[in-house]
Every structure is written in C-alpha cells, then in structure tokens.
Amino acid sequence: MLATPPTHSAFPSPAPSSSENPKAFAASDGARRRFGAYVHFPWCLAKCPYCDFVSFVAPEIDDEGYADAVIREVEVRAGGADAGRRGRLESVFFGGGTPSLWNARDLGRVLNAVRRGFGGSAADGLETTVECNPTSLDERRAAALVDVGVTRVSIGVQSLRDDRLRFLGRLHDARGAVAAVQAALRAGVGRVSGDLIFGLPGQSPEDARDEALELVGLGLSHVSCYQLTIESGTRFGELARRGRLPLADEGAVAEAFVAIDEALTGAGLRHYEVSNYARGGHEARHNLGYWRGDEYVGLGCAAYGFERVSSAAGQRSAEACQVAGHRWRNVVTPERYVEATRAPERERVAAIQEGLEPLDAETLMRERLMLGLRIAEGIDLDRAAQDLGVPGWTPARLRAATWLEERGRIVREGPILRVPRAAWLWTDDTAARLF
C-alpha cells in the first residue's frame, strides 16, 4: 500500500548501541517541532503482483501479540524525553500491509500508547489515518475504528473496473470497492481518501478520467493517484523481465495523468502534490510532514524513522550548528521484531533497529528539494538553508535553476522554488538537477 516514508537503499552503519542512539525520540536542539508517528502492520490477505512493500501473508495473525510488541517499542522510544524537547505530534499513520485487518481494539491500544507516549490527542486535532483494503472494511469495522479515535481512512480502491482489478491481482471487485467507500462514509469517518492506480495497459485517457470522476463522485474528500510502476523483486517485475507483461507506453501514461488532473480539479479538488488531490483542509497532514522534511517516529517491523540532531551533540561551533539527522529502520520480519521488543528496556532500541543511517545537512537539503518540489507550495530554499545550516543558492544550483526556469520546469518566486503543474511529470529529474 502507499504512503511509506521516503525510502533509501543502504544502511552503512552497524546497529547502534543504546548510548549512541538515545532511547527517547527527542529533538536534541530544544526546538519544538512537528513530527508524525508511523505504525507498520505487515500482513495482507494476499500479495499483489506489483507490490514491493514489506507485507506477508500469514494463515493467522496474532493481533494482540503484535499490538503488545508495538506498545513495548513505544515505551522505549517515547520514555524519558520531556515533551517540550520532543516537539508536537501532528499525525499517526497506520500503514502496511493491511492495517484494516488489525482488530480495532488492538489498534486502539497502540494508538492510546502512542498518544500517551508522545503527547497527542484528538482534542489537539491529531490526524489518525488507517490504510484499508475493501476486503477488510465494512461499516461495523469502520465504526469500530472511529470509536478508538481514527479520524481518516485511506482505502486501496485502485480501480473501479473489474478487469483492471483482476490484472492488478486485487481480491476485491469494483462493487466491493464502492461498498467499502460508502461504508466508511456511513460510519462517520471524518475524512475518507481513495487510491487509484493509472497507467495500466489498454487504459485510455477517457477511461482514466471516468474512473477518477466516479471515485470522487462517491463523496471522497481526498484522492491519491499513483502511476503503476514495475519494481524488481515483484511478480510483475519478473514477468516484465521475461517480456511477458503488457505495459502502457509513456505517452498514454502522460495522457492519463493529464486527464485525471483535469477531472479531479474540475470536480473541485486541489492538486496539492504530484499524486494527491484534496478538498480544502482535507490534505493528508501526515504525508505533508514527509514532504516538508518533518521528523517521524517509525514503529513496528520494517518501519523507518527519522530524527534531527544537532551535530556534535550541542557543541555550537559554526560547523556544529549544521543540523543533521538519522534515519533508522526496524527489523523487517514480524517474528524477529516481536522477539526484539522483549529485550530489556536499556537494550530494546538497539535490538529493534537493524540500521541507523547518519544524514548530514547536505543530504537533508537534497531530500528537502526532492520532496518539497513534489508539493504545490514548493520549497522555501532560504528557509531550508537556514534551518539546515547549509548554503541554499550555490552557484551551481543558481545555474541549474535558471536553466530549468527557461524551460518552464520550475517557477521562482523570491526564495520559493516550485514545479508548475504542467511539469510535474518530470519532478524527480528537476529535483536531481538542483542537487
């Protein structure tokens, strides 16, 4: 499913000792910043042929045992830090896998532990999202999620055409997708989002437009539209390698993107990120945090977390003021993860993490560019430079910006750099040229 944190391929450092990696998720420079919490639930009913997310198919899921394990992790990641140093919890995102398979009572126990540990509450407007599949979301389950504090669901509709759902290996049909969306709305979930996949072989721009319109016509306030990508290590990847997977050509994919854009913006949604549309105020705050470079605590097996640290732990020389950070990843397999959470408190973080990647300020600046250019608001380069303590407008970046501007690939408004919607398809390349 979607909305994972930005991925990275290598973790060169060995697992940290608990002294290298303080157990508390705390901003060490004392600033009160926003952050989100991501909780990974790793199981699905079946593996989709295009999926390269960490998900497992298991005959039985120990809902209670996995919730207990995540709560043990919360205890050590949240414990000890004073709330003022930690920042403000903006959002909690249950992703997967298929977290709508998780017993709502156990998901609620985890949510309570996160709120207790990190200080967020519904009264503070905490956004709490659960990714759902139509096969595991009916009105009763949606109401149970609302009861435990969930404010937003993101439903993996993917298509409203049975033949495309079969091609994607999904377990639901179009009728099931519609029923799940309607159930969530009837149950009173405050905000309901639906995912669509486009760029499928044989899909005309008119088809793409019609599906998007039908989906938003169900009453959704947020739609995510993702291009089908073929990843190595997946069943589609293997079929493509052998030349046995029909694929849409690039021109057709671009036409579908434009058709969806026209349909959804025409229906009153704002295209606020390359793949995301929302009615005013219904943007996904959790994902906006990723795109803006906010910190996030990752909980559960295979989850990534990111925390900012001041270099040299508080030594304030000119260089030491450059803010850097760490990204960690938890052990991937659920069994090893659950076992690791049973380690004594002092050793638990080191047991749970299998990698800690140090990030210098220049790396964070490149990530800010890559992610910030994905959103309509763009990136304030002066502010990012000040925040990270590195130069923003280097001579090379100025030259690249001029080159891109002349070609209509970026717009410069004072310190703000943004990609115009007409050039969003090339956002990754645009960002890379600004590195």
CA separation for the pair 108, 119 (Å, rounded):
15
CA separation for the pair 435, 318 (Å, rounded):
23
Contact flag: residue 51 with ligand SF4 (CB under 6 A): yes
CB of residue 172 to ligand SF4, shortest distance in Å:
10
Longest dimension (CA), the chain: 62
Span 103-162, contacts to ligand SF4 by CB under 6 A: 133, 156
Cis, bond preceding 233 (omega within 30 deg of 0): no
Contact flag: residue 96 with ligand SF4 (CB under 6 A): yes
- Minimal CB distance to ligand SF4: which residue? 51
CB of residue 97 to ligand SF4, shortest distance in Å:
5
Query: Which residue from 27, 48, 160, 351 is in contact with ligand SF4, where contact means CB under 6 A?
Result: 48
Beta carbon nearer to ligand SF4, 57 or 123: 57
Query: Which residue from 44, 107, 111, 299 is in contact with ligand SF4, where contact means CB under 6 A?
Result: 44
Q: With contacts defined by CB under 6 A, name the span among 41-49, 227-235, 360-368, 384-392 that binds ligand SF4.
A: 41-49
How many residues are present in the chain?
435
**Structural contact between residues 102 and 63, judged by C-beta atoms closer than 8 angstroms:** yes
Contact flag: residue 97 with ligand SF4 (CB under 6 A): yes
- Residue 107 per-residue DSSP state: H
Calculate the alpha carbon distances from 45 to 58, 176, 241, 302, 392 in Å: 8, 15, 26, 18, 46
**Structural contact between residues 98 and 44, judged by C-beta atoms closer than 8 angstroms:** yes
368 phi and psi angles, rounded to 5 deg: -60, -45
Contact flag: residue 224 with ligand SF4 (CB under 6 A): no
Beta carbon nearer to ligand SF4, 37 or 228: 228
| Size of interface with ligand SF4, in residues (CB under 6 A) | 12
**Structural contact between residues 118 and 37, judged by C-beta atoms closer than 8 angstroms:** yes
CB of residue 98 to ligand SF4, shortest distance in Å:
5
Contact flag: residue 325 with ligand SF4 (CB under 6 A): no
38 phi and psi angles, rounded to 5 deg: -115, 130
For 248, residues 6+ apart whose C-beta sits below 8 A from its C-beta are: 199, 200, 201, 202, 203, 228, 256
CA separation for the pair 211, 105 (Å, rounded):
34
Q: How far is CA 27 from the centre of its chain?
A: 21
Q: With contacts defined by CB under 6 A, name the span among 48-56, 261-269, 279-287, 324-332 that binds ligand SF4.
A: 48-56
CA separation for the pair 293, 308 (Å, rounded):
10
CA separation for the pair 46, 9 (Å, rounded):
25
Q: With contacts defined by CB under 6 A, name the span among 96-104, 213-221, 249-257, 302-310 that binds ligand SF4.
A: 96-104
Contact flag: residue 235 with ligand SF4 (CB under 6 A): no
Beta carbon nearer to ligand SF4, 100 or 430: 100
Contact flag: residue 47 with ligand SF4 (CB under 6 A): yes
Q: With contacts defined by CB under 6 A, name the span among 94-102, 194-202, 332-340, 387-395 that binds ligand SF4.
A: 94-102
Beta carbon nearer to ligand SF4, 46 or 343: 46
Span 236-295, contacts to ligand SF4 by CB under 6 A: none
CB of residue 239 to ligand SF4, shortest distance in Å:
16
Q: With contacts defined by CB under 6 A, name the span among 42-50, 247-255, 289-297, 361-369 that binds ligand SF4.
A: 42-50
CA separation for the pair 53, 336 (Å, rounded):
18
Q: Which residue(s) pair with 416 in the sheet?
A: 380, 413
Span 1-20, contacts to ligand SF4 by CB under 6 A: 1
Q: What is the x/- site pattern for ligand SF4, positions 52-81, by CB under 6 A?
A: -x-x--------------------------
At residue 309, the 3 state secondary structure works out as strand
By CB under 6 A, name the binding residues for ligand SF4. 1, 44, 47-48, 51, 53, 55, 96-98, 133, 156
